[in-house]
Amino acid sequence: MSALGKYFDAFTNLEEVAGFVSVSKYPGFIYVLSNVRSDPWQNYLAISDPETLDVDMLFELFNLEKKQGVNLGIYANSKLPTNLIKALESKGLKKIAEDNYIAKTLTKKAKKFKIDIPDGYEISDDYDINEVIDVLTKAYDGWNGEETYAQTFELAKKRMYDDYFFKTLVAKFDGKVVGAVSIAADLNSGFAYFHNGGVLKEHRRKGVFSALNKKRINVCIDSGLKNVFGIVENNGPSHKAWTKLGLKSVEKYTIYN
């Protein structure tokens, strides 16, 4: 049985279709390599099957890629056997983060949210991608991969797939972008990944992010999608915002580096 859940599979599939990552399979693990080589959150070896895992091969590849300048993480289901976790830690790896996958199933009777947004703000799908990149770079405290990430998904949106769609929504104040969120969706499987969302600090705590998220869910209801999900830090602001909209924790992973 795979140690990687269905939401992780949907996530990596959507990022691969968009062209942000490539995925290679090895005995007991997969190698996810992104367009941002310096980030262990985006480049990692994910343990898929503890029973067939070749630990020596895992660390041989880990060390080889590190010498080539790729900052890799080891991505492990939080429910992996204790002895395997200890084996990772014995190699000098330390836990650097936890990914909490939260999700909601949209039934055929799912009702769309009423969207309330403060005066002076509007939600739109009309934007300049460079303005979105600037806003999200600031929202993510200067993450240096934002430009590559956002541009990759913007190009995917323009390719207009039959079975997938990629969409970005923005919040504007006095005509300027102050927040943005994105959707990557697989129309065949019914999974929609909510990603790359943020609001400038001076526009937070006003209901702007909540309005954007409600709009994302409404778009998915209109598109007939069945499962919406995102990846958040445990008990962080995004986690709290999503739980208010009915999303619940479904999978948890630990990242080692």
Q: Please say which residue of 69, 99, 129 terminates a domain.
A: 99
Same domain, 116 and 203: yes
* Residues 21-45, mean pLDDT to the nearest whole number: 95
Q: Is the pLDDT of residue 237 over 80?
A: no
Same domain, 134 and 182: yes
State which residues form the domain around 78: 6-99
Q: Per the domain annotation, does 119 fall within a domain?
A: yes
Return the pLDDT at 14. Answer: 98
* 109, amino acid identity: K
Domain count within the chain: 2
Q: Per the domain annotation, does 240 fall within a domain?
A: no
Q: Is the pLDDT of residue 243 over 90?
A: no
Q: What percent of the chain is predicted at pLDDT more than 70?
A: 98
- Tokens at 90, concatenated: 């014995």
Same domain, 127 and 78: no
Return the pLDDT at 239. Answer: 76
Q: Per the domain annotation, does 195 fall within a domain?
A: yes
Same domain, 55 and 137: no
Same domain, 71 and 158: no
Q: Please say which residue of 99, 123, 141 terminates a domain.
A: 99
Q: Is the pLDDT of residue 135 over 60?
A: yes
pLDDT digits (tens, 9 = 90+) for 183-220: 999 999 999 999 999 999 999 999 999 999 999 999 99
The pTM assigned to this predicted structure is 0.94
Return the pLDDT at 144. Answer: 86
Same domain, 95 and 111: no
Q: What is the DSSP letter of 202?
A: G
Q: Per the domain annotation, does 18 fall within a domain?
A: yes
Q: Per the domain annotation, does 249 fall within a domain?
A: no
Same domain, 72 and 148: no
Q: Closest Cα partner for 5 from 187, 234, 167, 229?
A: 229
DSSP codes joined into one string, 116-159: ---TTEEEES---HHHHHHHHHHHTTS-TTHHHHHHHHHHHHHH
Find the CATH number of the domain harbouring 127.
Answer: 3.40.630.30
Q: Per the domain annotation, does 180 fall within a domain?
A: yes
CA atoms within 13 A on the CB side of 20: 25
Q: Is the pLDDT of residue 1 over 60?
A: no
Residue 168 is inside which H or E element, if any?
strand 164-173
